[in-house]
Amino acid sequence: MSLINLRVWLKIPDAEAATVKNTLVRRMGYGDILADVKKERLLSIEVDSGDPEELARAFARELVNENKESHKVLIDSLQFEEGYVPVKVSLHIEDGEAISTRDRLRSRLGFQNVVDVKKATIWKLSFRTLKPEAEIAAKEIAERLLINPHKDSFEVLSQI
């Protein structure tokens, strides 16, 4: 069993990340400590057989639009570059889009070895403060803006 993590981000400017940054700075008082906001989508695909490297390339061909998106594959691990506090946001209620992606991979594209697909958004928050304060602020930002606790959950991830 392998877990293929597909990190996908826009090559073009990400308007949603820009809106989140504007809101945090202009409306929510984080202008002093927040330097930047970036966003990625994360697809975590569990497979029970096959070569994970080869499968990852095939999944990327199907799930990433190379005209506007870049991606990175991580197998059985999930790491992020230094300089950002990554916050993973996912639904704790049923995720219809993840189920549709799983069914598309299995039924329409023939990847019978796909066991499960999970989807999340990774908000990469860059702060002007040191790490402990930055992680506290990231948690607070997640709770105040990035999630609605009645449908979303979040996790502040560690970096490399």
Partner 1 sequence: MKIAVLQFPGTNCEFETLVAVKAVGMEAEIFRWNRPAGELSSFDGFVIPGGFSYQDRVRAGAIAAKEPVMRTLTEEAEKGKPILGICNGFQILVETGLLPGRAGRPSSRSGSSVPKGAAGFINGIDRCSPEIDMALAQNVMVSAGKIVRRGYYCDWVNLRHEAPIRRCSGSFAIERGALLKIPIAHGEGNLVTATPGLINQLNEREQVVFRYCDRNGRIINEFPYNVNGSRESIAALCNEQGNVLGMMPHPERAFFAWQLPAFDPRKQRPDEPGPGRRVFKSMKCYIEVNA
Minimum distance between the CB of residue 43 and partner 1, rounded to whole angstroms? 17
* Stretch in the footprint of partner 1 (CB under 8 A) among 56-64, 73-81, 103-111, 134-142: 134-142
Closest to partner 1 by CB, 76 or 140: 140
Q: Does 23 bind partner 1 (CB under 8 A)?
A: yes
Among 94, 110, 132, 160, binds partner 1 (CB under 8 A): 94
Q: Does 148 bind partner 1 (CB under 8 A)?
A: yes
Q: Does 16 bind partner 1 (CB under 8 A)?
A: yes
Q: What SS3 class is residue 97?
A: helix
* Token reading at 37: 């906001």
The count of residues interacting with partner 1 (CB under 8 A) is: 30
Minimum distance between the CB of residue 32 and partner 1, rounded to whole angstroms? 10
Closest to partner 1 by CB, 78 or 156: 156
* Token reading at 43: 């697809």
Closest to partner 1 by CB, 62 or 133: 133
